[in-house]
Amino acid sequence: MESIAGLDIKTDCLFFKGDLPCAPHKKTGEHCASCAAYQKISKRILIIKLGAIGDVIRTTPLIRRIRKEFPNAKISWLTHTPAILPAQAIDEILKYDFTSVLYLQQVKFDIVYNLDKDKDACALVNTINAPHRFGYCLKDGVPFPMNQLAEHKFSTGLFDDVSKANQKSYVQEIFELAGWNFEGEEYLFDNHQDKGFVWNLPAEKKLIGLNTGCGDRWTTRLWPETHWVKLIQLLQQEGFEPVLLGGEQEHEKNSKLANLTGAHYSGFHSLPKFINLMYQMDLIVTQVTMAMHIAVALQKQMVLMNNIFNPFEFELYQRGQIISPSKPCECYFQGTCKNGQSCMTELSPESVLHAIIANVK
Say if residue 22 is in the same domain as residue 50: no
Q: Would you say residue 185 lies in a domain?
A: no
DSSP state of 40: B
Q: Cα(336)–Cα(150) distance, rounded to whole angstroms?
A: 30
Q: Is the domain of 267 the same as that of 352?
A: yes
Domain membership flag for residue 225: yes
Distance separating the N- and C-terminal Cα atoms of the chain: 55
Kindly give the interhelix angle for 290-297 and 271-279, rounded to the nearest 10 degrees: 60
Mean pLDDT, the chain cut into blocks of 10 residues (361 residues total): 76 88 89 89 96 92 97 96 94 97 97 96 97 97 96 90 90 96 96 94 95 74 90 98 95 96 96 97 95 96 89 93 79 59 82 97 86
For the beta carbon of residue 334, count every other beta carbon within 10 angstroms: 14
Range of the domain at 338: 193-359
pLDDT of residue 341: 62
Tell how strand 2-4 and strand 7-9 pair up: antiparallel
Question: Residue 209: inside a domain, yes or no?
Answer: yes
Contacts of 259 (CB under 8 A, 6+ apart): none
Asked if residue 187 belongs to a domain, the reply is no
Q: Can you tell me the distance from the alpha carbon of 54 to that of 63, in angstroms, rounded to the nearest whole number?
A: 16
Residues 197 and 264 in one domain: yes
> Are 39 and 116 spatial neighbours (Cβ–Cβ below 8 Å)?
no
Domain membership flag for residue 299 = yes
Coil/strand/helix, residue 320: strand
How many whole angstroms from its chain centre is CA 27? Answer: 33
Confidence (pLDDT) at 160: 84
CB contact set of 236 (below 8 Å; sequence gap of 6+): 242, 261, 262, 263
In a domain, 237, yes or no: yes
Specify if 183 maps to a domain. no
E strand segments, the chain: 2-4, 7-9, 44-48, 74-79, 92-95, 111-114, 132-139, 142-145, 207-211, 241-245, 283-287, 301-305, 320-323
- Looking from the CA of 311 toward its CB, the CA atoms found within 13 Å total 13
Specify the number of domains making up the chain: 3
State the amino acid at position 344 in one-letter form.
M
What angle, 0 to 180 degrees and rounded to 10, lies between the N-to-C axes of helices 225-237 and 349-359? 50
Here the CATH number for the domain that contains residue 227 is 3.40.50.2000
- The answer to whether residues 246 and 352 belong to one domain is yes
Residues 51 and 150 in one domain: yes
pTM over the 0.85 mark:
yes
- The verdict on residue 188 lying in a domain is no
Quick one: 9 and 109 in the same domain? no
